[in-house]
Structures are given as C-alpha cells and as structure tokens.
Structure 1
Amino acid sequence: MSDKQQTAVPEGFWLDAQGRLVPESMVKPIDQERDRLVKQLVDRASKLSTELADFKAVAFGDIEAFVELSAEQYSAKVGGKKGNVTLYSYDGRFKIQRAVQESIVFDERLQAARALIDDCLRDWTQGARPEVVTLVNDAFRTDTKGEIRTARVLALRRLEIRDERWQRAMTAIGEACQVIGSKSYIRVYERIGDSDQYKAISLDIAGV
C-alpha cells in the first residue's frame, strides 16, 4: 500500500497529488467538482469492470457445460484444449462465439527457412517470379514492435512451389512455430433484420 493510501485525511482537509494536506477552504470549487466527477466515474467503471469479469467467467463456464451436455447426447466425452465454438439461439437472432486466439512465435529454425528461401529467390531473379519475391519480403518484414508477422509467414506455405529447397523451407517454418500462450474471448452478436449478417453487441467501451 502506498503512502498516499495510508495517509489519514483529517476532517476539513484534502490530500493533493503530492501527498500534502490542504485545507478544504483553499481547494477551489472547480477542483472539488472535478474531483467529484472523476471519482464518481471511476467508481462506476470499477463496478462495470467487475461485472464484465463476472460475466466472462460465467459465460465460459456455462458454454463449456453446454458443450459437454451436447456431447453426452452422443455418448461422447469432450476433453483436451477448449477450442472455438459458436452457439445460436433457436430463432437464429443471436449467436455467441467462444474464440481462442493463440500466441505464436518462431524459434531459430525460421532463420534456416529464410536462408533456403533466399537461395530460391536468387535463382528466380530476372523477374521470373516478382510476385513471390514481393510476398516473401513482405512476410519477413517486421511490425512496429520489431516482431515477425506470423500470419504472413505461415501464408507462404499455401504457395504451390515444387522446388525442393522451398519445400524444405516450408517444413522448417512449420516446425519453427511455437505456441507460447492463448487468450480466450466471448463475442456476442445480433442478426441484422432478416439477413444472414450479424452485428456485434460490443463489450468494449471504445466500440459502444
């Protein structure tokens, strides 16, 4: 606990940002009103944050229980890692998705893959396959944090290239993938009219 949190504020005084006691009579009305507004909104935000955390826990638990209940109808036991699942209301108006997003990084074998790819590119100069050169250079370009964009590197594996070095490079990319963690999300949607399109019911304050 910080010193500010431990400081007992006597009646008739306010504690300022430097931890100093200031007589209430010296605190401007506009500063008092700002303090009241900030603390009121922070109090509401804290309660909403707790409610969202409770909703997430309940939602994950209820969805997992339902998945197991559904599996029991076929005498099947669901085990292992919990993956993505989408549940629809009976009338199709609403759907809820449980989504699991894995965090993937590459180990040192990615360097071997890049070396093999570079060998291929050197042999494919003279403009024979400029689109492949562009895709490769873009895939290995780092993002603003200096990290390799995994999705673009993995997308190279979809290219139909028979060169044996390229095939070995794609194998190295696959083996270099390391899952270091995952995050789970709950997404709630409502159907737009009678269409087959859904709009998200935002649980993010920025998206409301």
Structure 2
Amino acid sequence: MAVKDAKGNWIDPEGNHIPEKYVPAHERREDVLVMTAAESMLAISEAMQQAKSMIMLGIEQYLSELAAENGEDALNVGGNYTWRDFSGVYKVELRNAKIQQFDDRIKVAAQKLERVIDGWAMGAAGRDELKSLATEAFENDEQGRISPGKVFRLQKRLRGMTETTPEIAEVVRLISESVLVVGRKQYISLSRRAEDGSWETVPMDFARI
C-alpha cells in the first residue's frame, strides 16, 4: 500500500499528506495493483539473486576441484563454459561479457566516415546503405551511449573496403583505438533439450515467458 503517516493519510510524491477519503477510487485501485506486482516481483528478484549466488558458489567449487585433480591451483572463472547433465537433458552456460564504451575518438571516426561517404557520387553503389548503417551505429541511445554492437557491425563492414579506400582504413583504426573496457558482466543461462533435439533456453525474465 501507499506510504502513510501516523494518522493514516496517504503521502504523495511531493510529500503532501492526503486524507484517504480524498484519494480517488481509481488511484487506490492503481496503488493496490502496483504494490501487489511490486511485492511479487521483488520477491522473485531476491530469489534469483540468491539462486545466482548459490550457482556461482557451485561453479567455483567445481572448477577448484577440477583444477586440483589435474595439478593446477585454480581455473579462471572469468572464461566461458558450458556444462551438461549426464543424460543430456539440461545445459548450463556461463558467459563473461565485456562492458564496452568509446572515448572521444569515436566522434572523430564518425566525422571522417561521414566526409568519405558524402564525397561519393549520389547513387554510387552501396552509398545510401552505408550512410544508413553509419547513422544508426553512431547514434546515441536514450542514455546518451553509443551501442558497441552496432559500431562493431559497421566496422566489420568497413574492413572489407579498406584496401580500395584508405580513408576508411583510418576510420577502422580509430574505432578500434576508441574502445574502452569499463567492466565485465556474468551471464548464466539454462537450456533444456526439446523433443526434436534442439535446445530451448529457459526464460528468466517476464518479457520472454
């Protein structure tokens, strides 16, 4: 339920204390809806955090024992791993992904590429497509960040053009040198084998259920 003071008045986002009788009926129903959902989802979130901690503890113990059995002090938990149960019904995957951003040289790369593309004749083969890819790759998202995935897809496309266009080779170099690794994130996923032999990922978020 909404936050209330000692007298039972409802406290709104501005800190005003509103007697319950003055709270519209639809806002009271909305409050019940939101709080019911919040309590359920927070409980699930906490359970998932506990499950991840338990799974990671088991992974670390498994890798430690595997290393000891083979004469090593330890194995790197920062790598990527895939494990299957004995019967091949389930598959657990651990992936360690880099969190990447770009420094200001990415702006220089974008400007150089734009100048190269604008220098091509209108209607030149691939001009409009490349311009569209570049615009999408260097566009900031709602958080003001550039998507590494989109930039790397563009860079892959540009690499095939470096021999014929030296200016694009400079763009490819600038993109590579502008990459900053600002952290790492671990992903644990569970898959189960379907009747046709394919693997189906067990959904762990509401959007995929």
TM-score over 0.5 for the pair: yes
TM-score by structure 2 length? 0.71
**Counterpart contact for 2:114–2:131, Cα < 8 Å:** no
1:17 aligns with 2:19: no
TM-score by structure 1 length? 0.71
Please list the CA deviations of residues 22-62 of structure 1 after superposition, one character each: whole Å capped at 9, or x if unmatched: 8xxxxxxxx8xx97x98787666554433222111011121
Partner letter of residue 10 of structure 2? Answer: A
Give the Å deviation of 1:97: 1.6
Distance 1:133 1:207 in 2: 33
Match of 1:193 in 2: 195
Please list the CA deviations of residues 101-152 of structure 1 after superposition, one character each: whole Å capped at 9, or x if unmatched: 4332111111221233234223433414323333223322333444322211
Distance 1:39 1:155 in 2: 42
Distance 1:134 1:204 in 2: 32
Match of 2:147 in 1: 149
Distance 2:36 2:134 in 1: 53
Match of 1:120 in 2: 116
Moved more, 169-178 or 155-164: 155-164
* Structure 1 residues 188 and 165: CA distance shift in structure 2, 3 A: same
User: Unaligned stretches of 5+ in structure 1?
Assistant: 10-14, 23-30
Distance 1:41 1:136 in 2: 41
Distance 1:184 1:153 in 2: 22
* Residue of structure 2 aligned with 1:99, choices 95, 98, 121: 95
**Counterpart contact for 2:110–2:134, Cα < 8 Å:** no
Superposed, 1:166-205 pairs within 5 Å as 166-195=168-197, 197-205=198-206
The structure with the largest alpha-carbon Rg is 1
Distance 1:87 1:60 in 2: 13
Count of residues in correspondence between the two structures: 189
Match of 2:49 in 1: 53
1:129 aligns with 2:122: no
Moved more, 96-105 or 163-172: 96-105
